Amino acid sequence: MKKLFIFIITFAIVTSCSKSSEQTKQNEELINFLEKVEQDNELLNPVIYSASWISSNFITHDSQMVLSDYSKRSTLDALQKSKDASAFNNVITSDSNRRKLEILKTAFVMPPPFDDALASELSKIETKLSAMYGSGKYCYSENDCNDLEGFESIIDKSRDPDQLKRAWSGWHEIGKPMKDPYIRMVEIGNKGAQDLGFSDLSDLWFSKYDMPSEEFLNSIDGVWEDVKPLYEALHCHVRDSLNNEYGDDIVDIAGPIPVHLLGNMWGQSWSNIYDLVYKPDSKESSYDVTNIILEKDLSEIEMVEIAEDFFLSIGFDSLPKTFWERSLFTKPLDRSVVCHASAWNLDPANNDLRIKMCIERNEEDFSTIHHELGHIFYYQAYNHLPSLFRSGANDGFHEAFGDLLTLSITPDYLKQIGFINQEQAEKAKDDAIGLLMKQALEGVVVVPWALMLDKWRAGVFKGETSYENLNNSWWEMRNNYQGISAPDIRAEDSFDPGAKYHIPANTPYTRYYLARIMQYQFHEALCKSSGFDGPLHECSIYGNVDAGKKIISTMALGRSVPWQSAFKEITGSQELSGQSIINYYKPLKDWLDIQNENRSCGWSET
Ligand SMILES: [Zn+2]
């Protein structure tokens, strides 16, 4: 008996010994693997980024060919690395290494399966869907054709309901042929996600947030509950204004708002109908940043310098010389370029940072420059980290910082930089409702939209939405979250989600939701900790070095820690909350409540 006991003990020791040596060996392999990934990234990424920069700045047959070759190879390589990373799932290692592996595993939004035929089918469908969107146009007759730009120019400006409906419906025709390829793409993508160890694409997409995906989805729903009363009050007032403009036949005073009347193709920003929903007491109260830029005759580069100065005023290091030499600031006359504004981190070892923008001298682009520089200063702050950690704490962070600064473009700030005088600043501050309304038609309106878009996708990815119900479920969600309806009964073969870029292009959208929420939490926390106790929309962090220190130290963490820890650096909390956006718009909400007193607000949910 004793002998047997000794044997068992020995056996147990032996196995545990061999287990631990096996573990050590596996951990060593893991470390070597991660080192190799880092080396490859340092060596190859700058070249791939250069190829990509050239292809966006010099659109020629050859530049596209070089990029497509690089992309194909680097996708295959990245897929192999995701797969290799999954092989270490059960190896015990440091938190930091585990994090790097998870980052590699979740690098894809639409992962190809480990099957060559399916992988190439997927890539073909993705290219096809992008091209269908990019070259999308609709002809009502031979000489009556429009692309997105053409239809948008009507939607954004017209006040003729029939013309608006026609333009909206015309653009949405482009979705129809996308339905079948989109569903096939999801089918293959789900298989790819499963090959990497996720239950489906939704599980993959929402596993990037340092908490179980279901928990994350519940937490973002909770935030929406906070914001909803503000949105509903705004909705109620806007619906009433549109009813006054168009009458009961077109705008049901108790129902959802028909999307084509909102001044934007997707009804995601309502700032183009500002004049219908708000009439200031006197015209003088508002200043026009576009006019100021033109009057001062600021060049495009001077606009960027003013934005850089904001970052420098709160303690950031100035941008490298190469930023000014290599960025694209204005639309070249001699060639076509991709004008969509973007921020680039081409070669972190040499701090090669650039923006690419065709700057127009107006208020919108002045804001966009701040947004893009938010990305650039983020890169600069985390470029010392290993490549896998060089990104935002989560994808919302990267979008949030530039927008955070635009909340600080207050009348007082504009006075400080010599854009307006004392008297103009005082007058503008007197019309707080005008200022807040302008912001809310963009910043509050986008919140339910940015939430519902990926909710719809999650239903499709998880197979909860049937093929027959794809378009209906889209409109059900738009009704329930946004109180918005289609202008007419949709045809059975419609696929309206396809008419929004991010659906055929597979760009996740939750990041914009997070950014919109976090931006106000950051703003409130930074203003409060610097002792500001006035209304939040009057607070500017310009020149506030303490606020800057918090932003810089948060940025410097990159993605090396769970986002909740980075979030805490600025806000002192780990929780997302809609309370800050509510606090920010408090004066507007009070005003809306008075306007809405005798109106019946809300709409019925389906
Ligand atoms: Zn951005």
pLDDT per residue as tens digits for the range 27-52: 999 999 999 999 999 999 999 999 98
Listed as ranges, residues in the chain with pLDDT below 70 are 1-19, 282-286
Say how many Å lie between the CA of residue 185 and the centre of ligand 1: 26
Please list the helix, strand and coil fractions of the chain in percent, rounded to the nearest 5, in that order: 65, 5, 30
pTM: 0.91
Say how many Å lie between the CA of residue 342 and the centre of ligand 1: 7
Tell me which DSSP letter residue 352 carries. Answer: E
Q: Write 279-287 long-range contacts (CB < 8 A, 24+).
A: 280/431, 280/434, 281/431, 284/427, 285/427, 285/428, 285/430, 285/431, 285/434, 286/428, 286/431, 286/434, 287/411, 287/414, 287/419, 287/420, 287/424, 287/428
Say how many Å lie between the CA of residue 399 and the centre of ligand 1: 5
Residue type, position 331, single letter: K
- Distance between CA atoms of 143 and 556, rounded to whole angstroms? 55
pLDDT of 3 reads 42
Q: Which of 158, 169, 211, 153 is nearest to 494 (CA)?
A: 169
pLDDT of 553 reads 96
- Distance between CA atoms of 4 and 117, rounded to whole angstroms? 56
Burial of 127 (0-12, 13-18, 19+ CB in 10 A): exposed
Say how many Å lie between the CA of residue 298 and the centre of ligand 1: 24
Residue type, position 82, single letter: S
Beta pairing class for 137-141 and 342-347: unpaired
Say how many Å lie between the CA of residue 400 and the centre of ligand 1: 8
Say how many Å lie between the CA of residue 360 and the centre of ligand 1: 18
Say how many Å lie between the CA of residue 564 and the centre of ligand 1: 21
pLDDT of 5 reads 41
Tens-digit pLDDT profile for residues 9-31: 434 444 454 667 888 899 999 99
* CB-CB contact of 102 with 95 (8 Å): no
Tens-digit pLDDT profile for residues 480-489: 999 999 999 9
Q: Is 502 a catalytic residue?
A: yes
pLDDT of 2 reads 42
pLDDT of 552 reads 97
Residue carrying structure tokens 């700058």: 46
Annotated catalytic residue, options 38, 360, 426, 502 = 502
Beta pairing class for 342-347 and 484-485: unpaired
Annotated catalytic residue, options 372, 399, 524, 569 = 372
pLDDT of 283 reads 62
pLDDT of 63 reads 86
Say how many Å lie between the CA of residue 540 and the centre of ligand 1: 21
Q: Write b or e for each residue in 362-381: b if 16 or more Cβ atoms lie within 10 A of its Cβ, otherwise e.
A: beebbbbbbbbbbbbbbbbb
pLDDT of 437 reads 96
pLDDT of 21 reads 83
* CB-CB contact of 217 with 458 (8 Å): yes
pLDDT of 7 reads 39
pLDDT of 340 reads 80
